[in-house]
Amino acid sequence: MAENIKKIAVFSEDGIQQAIARVFHDDDDKEKFEDKLKELCKILGKKEKKGKKDKTNLLPTSDEIYETAILPQIHRKIQEYEENELQGASIKLSIQFPSDIKSMNVEQMKQFHTLLMKQEQIVQDIDLLLKFHRGYLYLIARSKLPQETNVKDWFHTEFGVVYSTAHKYMCLALLIKRFPRLLVCGLSFNQLVKHYKRILKTAQNKNTNDQLSQSVVIICQDQQIEIKPGEVTISR
């Protein structure tokens, strides 16, 4: 058994989750299996090294990260978007590549390096937009399921994803549908999902709620996408 457990450990978490979903169709059996694994982890767990606790305390908590980094960034990016909106500017997401890097001199390389760094953020913004639409698709699909359908099995069968993964995407879609302007705040998928509840708590403030819940228009690869609270429109 120990040899088999070591073999399983080399696979990704998502891959293991999918395998578990295929093997355990009964939730009770799955819970019993998880309980046994937890017991094994406790028995095998190493004692905490001296001084480790002190080092851990030096690291900022999730609440501190949100208050000192995430929230200020949200306010700053929303203000930038509103200022650009007043000037008639729009968000355009597209990627550009040079024809020949070898022929560049140092000054041209520096300029292109700056462009690449900006485009890395654009790639993250496009990635977030794609993940939002993936979550939106899952939401629509889930709403059309018959009542007696096993949701977890259905998502695995039809889309090949573990439901816990689909749930993260749906959480993102629900958050963006409620607060579309979070899309322009430069935050990643992981940041938005991790701080989901903190953002909802922050949005209890009326001014913040009003700012975030405004519609947003993004032009991605020459295609205009407008996201209003609870509504998504894509021009063809």
Give domain status of residue 119, yes or no: yes
Do residues 217 and 224 make contact, with C-beta atoms less than 8 angstroms apart? yes
Do residues 104 and 211 make contact, with C-beta atoms less than 8 angstroms apart? no
Give domain status of residue 52, yes or no: no
Domain holding 218, by residue range, is 65-234
Domain co-membership, 74 together with 125: yes
C-alpha 137/C-alpha 143 separation (Å) is: 10
Residue 9 CA: distances (Å) to CA of 4, 90, 174: 9, 47, 33
Tokens matching residue 236: 């063809």
Give domain status of residue 177, yes or no: yes
Instruction: Tell me which residues of the chain have a pLDDT lower than 70.
Output: 10, 12, 14-15, 25-28, 46-57, 89, 98-99, 231-236
Domain co-membership, 200 together with 162: yes
**How many distinct structural domains can be found in the chain?**
2
Per-residue pLDDT, 134 = 96
Domain co-membership, 15 together with 112: no
Per-residue pLDDT, 178 = 93
According to DSSP H, which parts of 45-162 are helical?
A: 52-58, 62-65, 71-86, 106-143, 151-159
Domain co-membership, 111 together with 154: yes
According to DSSP H, which parts of 144-178 are helical?
A: 151-159, 163-178
Domain co-membership, 115 together with 228: yes
Specify the amino acid at residue 165.
T
Cβ contacts of 193-201, under 8 Å, gap ≥ 24? 193/168, 194/62, 195/62, 195/66, 195/70, 196/171, 198/62, 198/63, 198/66, 198/70, 199/74, 199/175, 200/175
Give domain status of residue 59, yes or no: no
Give domain status of residue 55, yes or no: no
Per-residue pLDDT, 236 = 44
Domain co-membership, 89 together with 182: yes
Domain co-membership, 82 together with 181: yes
C-alpha 180/C-alpha 226 separation (Å) is: 9
C-alpha 160/C-alpha 153 separation (Å) is: 10
Tokens matching residue 226: 């407008």
Domain co-membership, 140 together with 191: yes
Give domain status of residue 11, yes or no: yes
- Rg of the Cα atoms in the chain: 23
Per-residue pLDDT, 14 = 67
Domain co-membership, 34 together with 95: no
Per-residue pLDDT, 162 = 94
Residue among 186, 222, 234, 224 at smallest CA distance from 94: 222
Domain co-membership, 34 together with 141: no
Residue carrying structure tokens 């299996």: 33
Instruction: Give pTM, 2 decimals.
Output: 0.68
Domain co-membership, 38 together with 154: no
Give domain status of residue 226, yes or no: yes
Domain co-membership, 163 together with 95: yes
Task: Taking each helix axis as running N to C, give the angle between helix 106-143 and helix 151-159, from 0 to 180 degrees, rounded to the nearest 10.
Answer: 130
Residue among 154, 167, 171 at smallest CA distance from 21: 154
Give domain status of residue 170, yes or no: yes
